[in-house]
């Protein structure tokens, strides 16, 4: 395995810790800046918006720059942005600093995915799963550790620590990434970049991702209330169950990468259907802390094992615009994050109980599997179609 992949993993760890770690800092942050917790919570929404909108725009603007240059430049801005967050005297300046980092977030993961697959061209699924391991480590270690640091030393200390992690990642990228890497020549102009995405293999995969993440977030946003109100797990014990989710996520990333390299489309369909089924099982297992913990582990494996599949499929379908295509995958993910939190809240307001929320990911996962089946069918028809007469 190329050691440069570890530099990308470390970068992903730092970035995702900065993105998700804010949730554990909201109480102290709201007190210090004299704002309400719901207002502080908008930092999450603003960040997702920055990723979804800023990433594709920057991908087009930087299309002709070397990938290594773009990655290192963003990581430098990431470090500066987190230092600004640590020093921000007002909520408005904190939001601004987070937005700057968020815009580059989508671009970074779009390009990092392309770079990872080129480091291991014959094992692209494994390469992507290694990059996604940074996500899992952020959930498993970064977020709990960042919350603990914030509780002990103040929320600003967490941003300082994330900045240090980002600086280490920047140095590792500069040292370990190849100086010159093979890349597909970018098409001329923004319109040509977007025309390269006019392929059902690309846009139907985006739709499947949007549906799947919407369902997943409709449930995962409210897992802690489900644990406390339905399973009657004490609040102070809920981090252990979140740790189980993080551990399962690490297993899912590794399994997913290998399956994507083995049988991309068949295993993707099975994974999507399995996600809905194991999440629906929470309706039954939420009555027991032991069964819930076991179910959480299986759910985490299922819900993290599809990332390598969809990334590989998008890159195969948009060979002449890989950076933009991969960046738009992050837009689909973050669109699902925003839509899923809204869908779960809307369902609860309409009378759903926490115990009934697992029906939402079941329905959305089935819909995503249907979209993938349609796309796969179109692939096979295209292959079977006779070549036009010369």
Q: What is the pLDDT of residues 309-350, one digit of tens each?
A: 887 888 777 766 666 777 777 788 878 877 887 788 888 888
Whole-number pLDDT of residue 134:
85
Whole-number pLDDT of residue 123:
79
Whole-number pLDDT of residue 292:
94
- Whether residue 358 is predicted with pLDDT greater than 50 in this model: the reply is yes
8 A C-beta contact, residue 246 and residue 139: yes
Among 11, 19, 27, which residue's Cα sits nearest to residue 47? 19
Burial-class residue 19 by CB neighbours within 10 Å (0-12, 13-18, 19+).
buried
Whole-number pLDDT of residue 203:
87
Whole-number pLDDT of residue 140:
76
Whole-number pLDDT of residue 194:
66
Which CATH number among 1.10.3720.10, 1.20.1250.20, 3.30.70.3270, 3.40.190.10 corresponds to the domain 190-384?
A: 1.20.1250.20
Report the C-alpha gap between 46 and 95 in whole angstroms. 7
- List, in order, residues 6 or more apart from 171 with CB less than 8 Å away: none
Whole-number pLDDT of residue 182:
42
**Which tops the pLDDT comparison, 181 or 197?**
197
Using CA of residue 376, residue 378, residue 381, residue 383, what is the dihedral sign? negative
8 A C-beta contact, residue 216 and residue 271: no
- Whether residue 38 is predicted with pLDDT greater than 70 in this model: the reply is no
Give the model's confidence band at 86: pLDDT under 50 very low, under 70 low, under 90 confident, else very high: very high
Burial-class residue 247 by CB neighbours within 10 Å (0-12, 13-18, 19+).
middle
Whole-number pLDDT of residue 184:
45
Whole-number pLDDT of residue 183:
45
Rounded to the nearest 5°, which phi and psi values hold at 199?
-145, 125
Domain ranges of the chain: 1-183, 190-384
Q: Do domains 1-183 and 190-384 have the same CATH topology?
A: yes
Q: Does domain 1-183 have CATH number 1.10.357.10?
A: no
Whole-number pLDDT of residue 390:
46
**Which tops the pLDDT comparison, 176 or 235?**
176
Whole-number pLDDT of residue 37:
65
Averaged pLDDT for residues 276-301: 94
C-alpha 184: how far from its chain's center? 25
Among 327, 305, 304, which residue's Cα sits nearest to residue 314? 327
- Whether residue 280 is predicted with pLDDT greater than 80 in this model: the reply is yes
Whole-number pLDDT of residue 8:
92
Give the model's confidence band at 189: pLDDT under 50 very low, under 70 low, under 90 confident, else very high: low
Whole-number pLDDT of residue 190:
53
């Amino acid at each position: 395995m190329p050691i440069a992949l570890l530099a990308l993993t470390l970068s992903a760890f730092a970035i995702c810790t900065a993105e998700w770690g804010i949730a554990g800092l909201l109480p102290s942050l709201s007190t210090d800046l004299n704002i309400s917790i719901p207002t502080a919570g908008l930092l999450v929404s603003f960040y997702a918006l920055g990723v979804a909108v800023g990433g594709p725009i920057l991908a087009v603007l930087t299309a002709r720059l070397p990938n290594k240059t773009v990655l290192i430049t963003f990581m430098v801005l990431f470090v500066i942005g987190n230092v600004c967050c640590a020093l921000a005297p007002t909520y408005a300046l904190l939001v601004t600093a987070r937005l700057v980092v968020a815009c580059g977030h989508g671009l970074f993961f779009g390009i990092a995915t392309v770079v990872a697959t080129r480091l291991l061209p014959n094992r692209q699924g494994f390469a992507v799963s290694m990059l996604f391991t940074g996500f899992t480590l952020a959930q498993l270690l970064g977020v709990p550790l960042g919350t603990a640091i914030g509780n002990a030393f103040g929320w600003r200390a967490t941003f300082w620590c994330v900045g240090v992690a980002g600086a280490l990642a920047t140095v590792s990228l500069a040292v370990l990434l190849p100086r010159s890497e093979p890349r597909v020549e970018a098409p001329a102009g923004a319109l040509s970049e977007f025309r390269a995405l006019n392929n059902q293999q690309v846009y139907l995969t985006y739709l499947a991702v949007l549906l799947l993440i919407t369902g997943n977030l409709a449930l995962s946003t409210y897992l802690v209330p489900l644990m406390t109100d339905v399973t009657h797990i004490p609040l102070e014990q809920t981090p252990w169950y979140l740790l189980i989710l993080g551990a399962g996520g690490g297993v899912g990333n590794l399994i997913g990468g290998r399956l994507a390299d083995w049988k991309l489309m068949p295993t993707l369909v099975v994974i999507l259907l399995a996600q809905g089924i194991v999440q629906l099982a929470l309706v039954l297992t939420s009555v027991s802390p032991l069964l819930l913990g076991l179910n959480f582990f299986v759910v985490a494996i299922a819900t993290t094992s599809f990332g390598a599949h969809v990334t590989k499929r998008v890159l195969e379908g948009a060979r002449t615009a890989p950076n933009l295509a991969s960046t738009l995958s992050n837009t689909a993910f973050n669109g699902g994050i925003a839509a899923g939190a809204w869908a779960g809240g809307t369902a609860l307001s309409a009378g759903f109980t926490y115990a009934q929320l697992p029906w939402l990911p079941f329905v959305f996962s089935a819909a995503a599997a249907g979209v993938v089946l349609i796309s796969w069918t179109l692939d096979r028809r295209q292959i079977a179609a006779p070549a036009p007469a010369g």
